[in-house]
């Protein structure tokens, strides 16, 4: 079983990214052949700073390695290093309906809020994403609920390609949404997802936050005014539910187990303190390893380079098949 996922090298990674994506990546190493791609090319579809993009790739590489991604057991690489992605994205354009691209929610949202140039790259973002996965004939794509539309389009592109150019050339991948931590909410506004852009500074725990900052943010988390306080999940208890989910994910248990373990608690203070402790225990070692890893850019670059070589060895034969089926280039 081959797993593929892509992750943006922009923005500080937060607890929601850590639980919803990064931990899943690490776990993927035990479930199959795992391939993870740092998508620098996707990052060029919105206004960005070139120097920051490059350092962002190193920041993310160091974060992923610090979290336990093992470049011996999985393939970790930078998208821009493997030209098969860009070539395949162009070839896939021939079976991508323009109307579908226009309808994508992410494109619509970004193109209306963006005050600067809305680039064609933003519209074609999902085609490049399809190429990322299809180049590897991956079976499974672990990504959040917000990527559902992009995954459906990718599957549609693969099916259309096979129908037009030959059955079995591309693999139609499955979407896998992580059950745990798929929705870590903002600690100050638990009706909103913890996110890079849309959440509050005080309500967002960053992977690289110092223990003191983590504790402060969790201890100030919004709960509710139930009297007596009730430590249980429920649709009417967004803040408390979020803390229970966070604690469960940080401890590696289930929300039900957290509820049971909190049966003797005196109030929400106990829940917040337990969450602060568990999240600190989870992230403090990552932060320490990050600092060591981030200091050695040459090493990070050599990890990415080795990953790109291994990625290319898988993607190149797919491209050869796609080109041959499409009549592109000489007949070999
Ligand atoms: N669009 C994805 C996101 O924002 C990132 C991504 C790029 C991706 N290419 C991918 C995810 C391929 C999965 C597979 O999260």
Residue whose CA lies nearest to ligand 1 atom number 11: 6
Residues 87, 10: Cα–Cα separation, whole Å? 23
Handedness of CA 237, 239, 242, 246 (dihedral sign): negative
Pocket residue to mutate for ligand 1, from 25, 147, 158, 196, most atoms within 8 A of Cβ:
147
127 CA from centroid of ligand 1 (Å): 11
- Residue 309: other Cβ atoms inside 10 A: 13
Q: Delineate the domains of the chain, giving CATH numbers in brackets.
A: 2-176+297-326 (3.40.50.620), 211-291 (1.10.240.10)
Give residue-wise pLDDT tens across range 263-290: 988 899 999 999 999 999 999 999 999 9
Handedness of CA 232, 236, 242, 248 (dihedral sign): positive
3-state secondary structure the chain: CEEEEEECCCCCCEHHHHHHHHHHHHHHCCCCEEEEEECHHHHCCCCCCHHHHHHHHHHHHHHHHHCCCCCCCEEEEEHHHCCHHHHHHHHHHCCCCHHHHHHCHHHHHHHHHCCCCCCHHHHHHHHHHHHHHHCCCCCEEECCHHHHHHHHHHHHHHHHHHHHHCCCCCCCCEEECCCCCCCCECCCCCCCECCCCCCCCCCCCECCCCHHHHHHHHHCCCCCCCCCCCCCCCCCCHHHHHHHHHHHHHHCCCHHHHHHHCCCCCCHHHHHHHHHHHHHHHHHHHHHHHHHHHCCHHHHHHHHHHHHHHHHHHHHHHHHHHHHHHCCCCCC
Pocket residue to mutate for ligand 1, from 11, 75, 110, 129, most atoms within 8 A of Cβ:
129
141 CA from centroid of ligand 1 (Å): 9
Mean pLDDT score of the chain, rounded to an integer? 95
Give residue-wise pLDDT tens across range 209-240: 999 999 999 999 999 999 889 999 999 999 99
Overall residue count recorded for the chain in this entry: 332
Burial class for 44, CB neighbours closer than 10 Å (0-12, 13-18, 19+): middle
Is the confidence at residue 182, as pLDDT, over 70? no
Give residue-wise pLDDT tens across range 253-263: 999 999 999 99
Residue whose CA lies nearest to ligand 1 atom number 8: 6
Are 50 and 41 in contact by the 8 Å Cβ rule? The answer is: no
Is the confidence at residue 200, as pLDDT, over 90? no
Tell me what the mean pLDDT of segment 68-74 comes to: 97
Residue whose CA lies nearest to ligand 1 atom number 15: 7
Residue whose CA lies nearest to ligand 1 atom number 7: 6
Residues 112, 93: Cα–Cα separation, whole Å? 24
User: Dihedral, CA atoms, 205, 208, 209, 215, nearest 10 degrees?
Assistant: 70
pLDDT of residue 190: 94
pLDDT of residue 199: 75
Pocket residue to mutate for ligand 1, from 2, 5, 21, 153, most atoms within 8 A of Cβ:
5
pLDDT grade for 181, boundaries at 50, 70 and 90: low
Which ligand 1 atom minimizes the distance to the CA of 150? Answer: 1
Which ligand 1 atom minimizes the distance to the CA of 7? Answer: 5
Which ligand 1 atom minimizes the distance to the CA of 8? Answer: 5
Tokens of 178: 């992580």
pLDDT grade for 196, boundaries at 50, 70 and 90: confident
Tokens of 179: 């059950």
7 CA from centroid of ligand 1 (Å): 6
Residues 285, 263: Cα–Cα separation, whole Å? 29
311 CA from centroid of ligand 1 (Å): 16
Tokens of 64: 């992923």
């Amino acid at each position: 079983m081959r797993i593929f996922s892509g992750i943006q090298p922009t923005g500080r990674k937060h607890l929601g990214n850590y639980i919803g994506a990064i931990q899943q990546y690490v776990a993927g190493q035990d479930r199959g052949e795992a391939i993870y791609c740092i998508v620098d090319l996707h990052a060029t579809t919105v206004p960005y700073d070139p120097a920051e993009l490059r350092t962002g790739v190193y920041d993310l590489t160091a974060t992923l390695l610090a979290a336990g991604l093992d470049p011996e057991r999985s393939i970790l690489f930078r998208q821009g290093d493997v030209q098969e992605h860009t070539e395949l994205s162009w070839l896939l354009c021939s079976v991508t309906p323009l109307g579908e691209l226009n309808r994508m929610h992410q494109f619509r949202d970004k193109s209306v809020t963006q005050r600067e140039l809305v680039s064609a790259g933003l519209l074609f973002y999902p085609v490049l994403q399809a190429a990322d996965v299809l180049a590897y004939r991956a079976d499974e794509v672990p990504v959040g609920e917000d990527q559902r539309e992009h995954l459906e389009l990718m599957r549609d592109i693969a099916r259309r390609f096979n129908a037009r150019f030959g059955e079995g050339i591309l693999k139609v991948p499955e979407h896998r949404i992580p059950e745990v931590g798929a929705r870590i909410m903002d600690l100050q506004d638990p009706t909103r997802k913890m996110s890079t852009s849309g959440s509050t500074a005080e309500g967002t725990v960053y992977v690289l936050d110092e223990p003191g900052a983590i504790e402060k943010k969790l201890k100030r988390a919004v709960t509710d005014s139930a009297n007596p306080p009730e430590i249980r999940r429920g649709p009417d208890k967004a803040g408390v539910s979020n803390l229970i989910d966070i604690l469960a994910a940080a401890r590696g248990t289930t929300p039900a187990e957290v509820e049971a373990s909190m049966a003797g608690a005196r109030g929400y203070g106990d829940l917040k303190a337990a969450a602060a402790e568990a999240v600190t225990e989870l992230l403090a070692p990552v932060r320490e390893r990050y600092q060591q890893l981030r200091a050695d850019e040459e090493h990070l670059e050599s990890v990415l380079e080795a990953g790109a070589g291994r990625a290319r060895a898988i993607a190149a034969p797919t491209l050869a098949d796609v080109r041959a089926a499409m009549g592109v280039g000489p007949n070999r």
